[in-house]
Chains A and B, each alone.
Chain A
Amino acid sequence: MIVRVFSDGQYRIPDDAQARLHELDVATVEAIDANDEGAFKSSYGALIELIHANGERLADDDLAPSDLMLPPSDITLEEAREEFTGEGLLPD
């Protein structure tokens, strides 16, 4: 599976890391729902760490589309909330 971390790059993630990735993703959303800055930072930080530790970075000129996309690693809780409301973070 290919994962893109915005403002970072694309990574090829092995199958065995995907379950953990999903867990951390769920924990991140729970932290956003609870408006818990500390929990958000630690779970999203762990998710990014997991990708960096297990993923193989694709070259900049690789044209493969990503299966999964993540906001930048330094995203704030407030920005993450925006991602779930209205138009999301991306500008048109």
Chain B
Amino acid sequence: MAGLTGRMSTIVKAKVSKVLDRAEDPAETLDYSYSKQLELLQNVKKGIADVVTSKKRLQLQETQMQQQVVKLDTQARQALAANREDLARVALERKQSVQTELQSMDSQIAELEAQQQKLIDSEAAMRAKLEAFRTKKEVIKAQYSAAEAQVRISEAATGVGEQMADVGLAMQRALDKTENMKARAAAVGELQDSGTFEDLTQLGPGKDDIDRQLEAIGAGGAVDDELSKLKAEIGAGAAPTQIEASTGGEAAPAPEPAAADAGGDHDDASGATP
């Protein structure tokens, strides 16, 4: 069969027979390969322990990025309500890129966990096969002539050899993923440090350029509010519709700038939803 299955089979069989042909006695070869394989598995376990640390770091970064998404969304609404489409666009663009990063993080973490599980399963199957092999080779030796026993033991050894190849591949893939995860955690950390995700970690008074521009609008809006209220009191001219809409729902008629600002935020958030 010339397909993917045939290709894989050819490669595995070649590797297995290369290992088993090293010695006259396949049982001896297997014992040797097995101890080598166990050493490798120890290294993988260490690697996986390392990655748990990277994974936790990524998960923390993930939480911070989720908060960043919420914040950018609010900013976009505020900007839009203030007729600052340009600013809203910047906020939404950042939100998009943070979300994209978040999604790929999720799948990276899930993939790594899947690889780990497969490695554990393959290793368990290998231990089971090797135990069976040790018992069976004695039975075969007792039941068959030397030549016949050799053939049967070789066949059983091939079964174990395949499983070793299986563990080898599972290990390789888990290690590759581990390396990817580490690189990713480091890269996201660098982005944070360099300020690309500027206020990712600033849950308190952190302000970015979008915040500052929105504040400037807020201050301007408060002045506009006060002005339009004054105009209404005097009864001269109509206020712009947008201002009317945003002040219309307010119960307190007092033209207090701070209250108008906070109230404005509320109305903006709901009013900006298309």
Contact = CB atoms under 8 A, between A and B. Distances in A.
Contacts of B169: 6-7, 71-72, 89-91
B227 interface: no
Given A71-B8, A91-B172, A22 B118 contact: no
A25 B7 CA distance: 11
A26 B2 CA distance: 8
A25 B4 contact: yes
Contact of B118 (A65, A72, A88, A90): A72
Given A60-B125, A61-B132, A70 B5 contact: yes
B168 A90 contact: yes
Please list the 4 inter-chain residue pairs (A to B) with the smallest Cβ-Cβ separation, ordered nearest first: A25-B3, A61-B132, A60-B128, A63-B159
Interface range, A side:
35 or more
Given A22-B3, A68-B1, A63 B136 contact: yes
A17 interface: no
Interface residues of B, number: 39
Interface string B145-163: 0000000000110111010
Contacts of B160: 63
Given A6-B8, A29-B4, A60-B125, 9 more contacts: A4-B162, A6-B165, A25-B5, A63-B160, A64-B159, A65-B158, A71-B4, A90-B165, A91-B169
B14 to A, nearest CB: 10
Interface in B209-246: none
Interface of A: 3-4, 6-7, 9, 21-22, 25-26, 28-29, 32, 44, 47, 59-72, 74, 80, 83-84, 88-92
B131 interface: yes
B12 interface: yes
